Amino acid sequence: MLVVMKAQATEEQIRAVCQKIEELGYRAHSMPGAQRTAIGITGNRGEVEPGTLDEMPGVQELIRVSKPYKLVSRDVKPENTVITFAGTNATFGGPGLAVIAGPCAIESREQTMAVAEQVCRSGAQFFRGGAYKPRTSPYSFQGMGEEGLQIMAEVRDKFGMKIVTEAIDNESLELVEKYADVIQIGARNMQNFSLLKHAGRARKPVLLKRGMSATLEEFLMAAEYVMSEGNYRVILCERGVRTFADHTRNTLDLSIVPAVQRLSHLPIVVDPSHGTGKRNKVTPLSRAAIAVGADGLIVEVHHEPDRALSDGIQSLYPEQFDELMRQVRQIAPVVGRMVPAIGTHPPTPQPPSVRPGVESSISPSV
C-alpha cells in the first residue's frame, strides 16, 4: 500500500500520516519526491487495513502496490534516487557518472597507494578494494581485515576519493561501516538476508551486487530487504551472471540496466571486471555500459596485475584505465551524462529525465 500525499501537503500532515500508519502496527517509509511525497507501508502480512488514512488531511489517494517489491519501485518514487556525498560532487544517479576503481584486494600499503595515486589521477571519484575477500577456496588470500580498512581510510585522506569496500558478514559490516563511505555487498551474499537487514540499519550507502544467478525480481527484492530496514541509499550493480558461455568468466547482462531503470528509481552501476573476467574485454564493455545508460562503473585496476593476490587477469593496468576514462568522457555526453572531477566543478544542471529509456514520470500500477 502506498499513501500519495497532495502536492501542497505540509510536513505536519505527512508526519501525522506516518504516525497513524505506525499506530496501525505497520512501518511508514516517507519518500519525498519532486512533485509530492509518497509514504510506503510495509510490515503487513496480508492486506493493509487502511483505517481512516484516506480521510486524513493532505492525503490524495491510497494505492495498492501489486509488485512484491515496494520501496525500490518507481511506483513509490517516480524520480531517480541521487546519492550524494558530503564534501564532494560525486554522486550515484545524478547527471554525473560515478567511477569506482582500484584493486580487487588491498594487499599492502605500498600496493594500495600506488594504485590509488594512478586511478585518482585518471579521474576515479571512488576507490575500491577488498579488505575481506569472499574466495572460492579457503586457502586463497582472505584479505587484510581491519588493517586493510585503515589503509583505505588513508587513501581517502590523501586523495579525497570516497571508499567502497565489501562486508562479508555481520562482524565485518560493523567495521566496514566505520571506515568506508559505501558498503559493498557481494554477489555471493545477495541473498544473505541477515546481512542485508544489517546493511539496512547501517548509516552508509550500500552497493548491492547482483547474485550470479539472480533474476531481476530477486535482485530488486534483495534491495527491498535493505530499504525495508530504513536505509534508502542503495546502489545496484550488475556484475555478470552464470551462463553456458565460457569465453568470459560471467556473461555481463547489460540489458538489466534499462530493465531496472524502468521498474526502480535506484541507481545502477556496471562491473565489467567480474562481468567478463578478461582484461581485454573490460574497456569495450565499459563503453557499452555507459552507452546503455548505467550510472557508473566499478573497475579493477592493479599496478602489477601479474603479481596480484586476486583477480589479476581481469585487472587493468593503470594506463589502460586512463584510456578507459578518456573514452568514457567522450561517450558520456551522447547519453546526457558527464564525469565530474572530484571536488572541483559542480555538476552541470540537466533536465530530470536524462537517462535513456526512463520516462520522467511513470504512473503507479494498482
Contacts with Mn ion by CB under 5 A lie at 104, 311
With respect to Mn ion, which residue has the nearer C-beta, 107 or 311?
311
C-alpha cell, 172: 565485518
Q: Whole-number minimum distance, CB 148 to Mn ion, in Å?
A: 14
Q: Whole-number minimum distance, CB 300 to ligand PEP, in Å?
A: 7
- Contacts (Cβ under 8 Å, ≥6 apart) of 3: 17, 21, 38, 39, 41, 53, 59, 61, 62, 63
- Binder to ligand PEP among 40, 58, 123, 130 (CB under 6 A)? 130
Q: Whole-number minimum distance, CB 288 to ligand PEP, in Å?
A: 18
Q: How far apart are CA 313 and CA 311, in angstroms?
A: 6
- Binder to ligand PEP among 20, 249, 274, 279 (CB under 6 A)? 274
With respect to Mn ion, which residue has the nearer C-beta, 188 or 329?
188
With respect to Mn ion, which residue has the nearer C-beta, 79 or 311?
311
Q: Whole-number minimum distance, CB 123 to Mn ion, in Å?
A: 21
Q: Whole-number minimum distance, CB 274 to ligand PEP, in Å?
A: 4
Contact track, ligand PEP, 84-123, x by CB under 6 A: --------------------x-------------------
> Binding-site residue total for ligand PEP (CB under 6 A)?
10
Q: How far apart are CA 221 and CA 196, in angstroms?
A: 11
- Binder to ligand PEP among 3, 116, 173, 187 (CB under 6 A)? 187
Q: Check residue 266 for interaction with ligand PEP (CB under 6 A).
A: no
With respect to ligand PEP, which residue has the nearer C-beta, 104 or 328?
104
Report whether 154 contacts 183 (CB < 8 A).
Answer: no
The stretch near ligand PEP (CB under 6 A) out of 36-44, 71-79, 186-194, 256-264 is: 186-194
Q: Check residue 302 for interaction with ligand PEP (CB under 6 A).
A: no
Q: Whole-number minimum distance, CB 244 to ligand PEP, in Å?
A: 19
Q: Check residue 186 for interaction with ligand PEP (CB under 6 A).
A: yes
- In the list ligand PEP, Mn ion, none, the entry touching 187 (Cβ below 5 to 8 angstroms by class) is ligand PEP
- In the list ligand PEP, Mn ion, none, the entry touching 355 (Cβ below 5 to 8 angstroms by class) is none
With respect to ligand PEP, which residue has the nearer C-beta, 141 or 317?
141
Contact track, ligand PEP, 305-344, x by CB under 6 A: ----------------------------------------
With respect to Mn ion, which residue has the nearer C-beta, 104 or 151?
104
3-class secondary structure per residue, the chain: CEEEECCCCCHHHHHHHHHHHHHCCCEEEEEECCCCEEEEEECCCCCCCCCCHHHCCCEEEEECCCCCCCCCECCCCCCCCCEECCCCCCEECCCECEEEEECCECCCHHHHHHHHHHHHHHCCCEEECECCCCCCCCCCCCCCCHHHHHHHHHHHHHHCCEEEEECCCHHHHHHHHHHCCEEEECHHHCCCHHHHHHHHCCCCCEEEECCCCCCHHHHHHHHHHHHHCCCCCEEEEECCECCCCCCCCCECCCCHHHHHHHHECCCEEECHHHHHCCHHHHHHHHHHHHHHCCCEEEEEECCCHHHCCCCHHHCECHHHHHHHHHHHHHHHHHHCCECCCCCCCCCCCCCCCCCCCCCCCCCCCC
- Binder to ligand PEP among 74, 198, 204, 209 (CB under 6 A)? 209
Dihedral of alpha carbons 292, 366, 30, 169, sign: negative
Binding-site ranges for ligand PEP (CB under 6 A): 104, 130, 134, 186-188, 209, 239, 271, 274
